[in-house]
Amino acid sequence: MSIGIMEILEATAYTATTPLEADYDRTVRADIENFKAAIEKYLAGEYTDDQFRAHRLRRGIYSQRQPGVHMIRTKVPGGTLTAGQLRQLAVIADRYCEGKGHLTTRQNMQYHFVPLRQVPEILNLLADVRLTTREACYNTVRNVTADSMAGLLPGEAFDVRPYARLAAFAFLHKELTDSMPRKFKISFSGYDNDPMIGAIHDAGLIAKTRVVDGKEERGFKILVGGGLGPLPREAMLLDEFLPEDKLIPRLEAILRLFNQYGNRANKNKARLKFVIMERGWDWVKQTIEENYADILKNGGVPVPTEVPEGFGGFVTKAPELGQGNLLPIIDNKITDPDFDRWLETNVTEQRQSGYAAVTVLVPQGNMTGDQMRGIAKLAEETGDGMVRVTIEQNLVLGFVPVANLRRVYAALKLIGLHYYGANEIADIVTCPGAYSCNLALTKTMNLGAALYDTVKNHNDKVVRTLKIRSSGCPNSCGQHWTGDIGFYGNARKINGKEVPYYMMLLGGGYDETGIMRFGLSVQSVPARLAPTAVQRVLDHYVANRQEGENFRQYVMRHKVAVFKELTADLAKPTELAPEMFNDWGDNEAYSLQLGRGECAS
């Protein structure tokens, strides 16, 4: 049997075996029926667009700039899927979404161009395998993200996935979180270097341990009030160490504060970071403590003792590790330099002897249904049956026997996902941009492809460690503020004609002290010249960096003025070739078309 194209079969539906699972399934199915009824009322003219919007967004359904179709955002709690769940996502992609799905920087799977009447069918297929779109959008607790390498690498405090599952389940379908002033984002990291970027979250949790009376205790360092968007802000330290059993009450105390004091009158200033900016950190911290004391004394959101089978990839019985019997047969004597590069960049030795974690580079997060089925089969055949979604829009397969790596690479080659360079400069993060989003000004994914052609196979090893992140507008779905090089879309008029532009930022990311630093705005350049701007910056970096100097240190030493001068002729070209009036990937002239943005609805 080939590891390649698989039959299009729905995954086996879960059956409730506990009261908790039965209650959860009933709640989910009832919610789908309620939404189906709302759709019928809307299509019959009984609901206006504004009345229907809240119904739609609560269920993770966004409008698109294209009329009559929608984007569906599927939550992957903690970033972990079972192989069966990924197969079901493939079924949905092929049956309803032109065979495509998109992985996001929040560990979601998004589908585009779905007619409204088909949405309930998709929601029921997701519910069959205990996936949901509920509260993937709107003013709620969004998808709770967790370390994609949890449980695999040395240096980890402990596996954070069970805690991320509990947090996601605890605040799903709750009155407290159903209609907050704005969205609320939570992340869990198991390592001190915080790979989940807790500093940009409303609540970022980093696993910690301590020894008390000779006994090791688990807990979390908690950061509060971070966020990106047009005005980025780093989170504040709330707790150096919160005992693990106090996790849900502590999060609820933060949510209560936000729900009560977030700015409901102005969505542009409604995130938790603005509460801190306007009222001060001392007041915010005191109010959290008061809420926390009340919850401990009088009770609050029930703390789950378990989650349903499949929720966040939870399984009551772990599958046996795959042995690779169905992997492609290969000739080990044949050399392949691409395999050697893939081994260097995409494979990480696990702390479990004899196993490796394989990062599957998914260019800008775009997958086909066939690729999803191929990855699901690989996870079962030569892994632990789980597929982990990364915030870099890639996938991770854990517990791959080191002896099978060459055959795994051959299997990935069969489905077109054998790219090397994971987490390097050519592994570019982008949002969908104006491909579908109402707010986007530019087609970011097409820029990503152009930038890839510019930086792939760069011969400088230090340059290859850099990250490029790009968004189609200032709202930062591509997390452009945190990249070594970042871009966000804007537009200008030249000679009376609209031209797509990108603001270039330099030097984002954690500094050498572990503090999140946001990129410095350099200047806007035409979309078609953004790759040229990147090439100039990289050439200057290679020629002028000092020994041991990282990219941010190099940027800060030269200051913005140097990079403005370096790209000045690009920002204001004396002549514009005809293609400059087209966005990347377009043959027609660019036109600024914005709909109503819904990420702030």
d(CA 399, CA 388): 12
Q: Mapped to the 3 state alphabet, what secondary structure does 241-283 carry?
A: EEEHHHHHHHHHHHHHHHHHHCCCCCHHHCCHHHHHHHHCHHH
Amino acid at 106: R
Helix axes 19-43, 49-58, angle to 10 degrees: 160
Does one domain contain both 194 and 90?
A: no
Asked, for residue 152, whether it belongs to a domain, the answer is no
3-state secondary structure of 393: coil
Q: What is the pTM of this model?
A: 0.95
Mark 2-11 as b/e (b = at least 16 C-beta within 10 Å). Answer: ebbebeeeeb
Identify residue 26 by its one-letter amino acid code. Answer: R
Q: How far apart are CA 439 and CA 435, in angstroms?
A: 11
Shared domain check, 372 and 500: no
Residue 306 to residue 162: CA distance in whole angstroms? 9
> What letter represents residue 441's amino acid?
L
Domain membership flag for residue 8: no
Burial class, 474, CB count within 10 angstroms (exposed 0-12 / middle 13-18 / buried 19+): middle
Same domain, 401 and 450: no
- Looking at the structure of the chain, the number of domains it has is 4
Q: Pick from 298, 331, 359: which residue ends a domain?
A: 298
Give CA–CA dist 448/469, Å, rounded: 9
354 and 270 in a common domain: no
Give strand pairing partners of 502: 489, 525
Confidence at residue 4, expressed as pLDDT on a 0 to 100 scale: 42
**Domain check: are 96 and 239 in the same one?**
no
pLDDT at 331: 77
Q: Is residue 6 part of a domain?
A: no
Range list of H helices, 44-82:
49-58
User: Are both 544 and 441 inside the same structural domain?
Assistant: yes
Q: Is residue 419 part of a domain?
A: no
436 and 572 in a single domain? The answer is yes
The reported pLDDT for the residue numbered 259 is 98
Whether residue 438 is found in the same domain as residue 570:
yes
Is position 305 within any domain? no
Only one residue has tokens 């609320």, namely 184
215 and 250, same domain (yes or no): yes
Nearest-angstrom CA–CA distance, 7 and 19: 34
CA 388 to chain centre: 12
Q: Which of 324, 285, 505, 538 has its CA nearest to residue 411? A: 324
Tell which residue, 540, 473, 469, has the closest CA to residue 509. 469
CATH number (domain holding residue 507): 3.30.413.10
Q: Is there a single domain that holds both residue 191 and residue 264?
A: yes
Instruction: Return the closest-CA partner of residue 448 out of 432, 464, 462.
Output: 432
The answer as to whether 245 is a domain residue is yes
User: Is residue 590, in this structure, part of any structural domain at all?
Assistant: no
Token reading at 256:
């209560």
Sequence-distant (6+) residues with CB within 8 A of 44 are none
Side chain identity at residue 200, one-letter code:
I
Q: Which of 119, 24, 39 is nearest to 77 (CA)?
A: 24
Q: How far is CA 73 from CA 170, 334, 432, 550, in A?
A: 20, 43, 13, 37
143 alpha carbon, distance to own chain's centre: 9
The DSSP secondary structure of 203-234, one letter per residue, reads EEEEEEEEEETTEEEEEEEEEES-B-TTS-BP
Residue 438 tokens read as: 């109402």
Domain carrying residue 99: 19-128
182 and 115, same structural domain? no
Pairing between β-strand 468-471 and β-strand 485-494 as defined by DSSP bridges:
parallel
CA distance 368 to 92: 11
10-residue mean pLDDT profile of the chain (601 residues): values are 49 92 98 97 95 95 91 98 98 97 97 96 98 96 98 97 98 96 98 95 98 96 97 97 98 98 95 98 98 98 96 93 88 85 97 98 97 97 97 98 96 97 97 88 95 95 97 95 97 89 96 91 96 98 95 96 97 85 87 59 36
* Residue 437 forms part of a structural domain: yes
CB neighbourhood size of 315 (10 A):
14
Q: Which amino acid is at 370?
A: D
Contact of 521 with 438, CB cutoff 8 Å: no
Whole-angstrom Cα distance, residue 450 to residue 459?
18
Identify whether residues 548 and 484 lie together within a single domain.
Answer: yes
d(CA 204, CA 394): 21
CATH classification of the domain holding 71: 3.90.480.20
State the pLDDT at residue 287.
Answer: 98
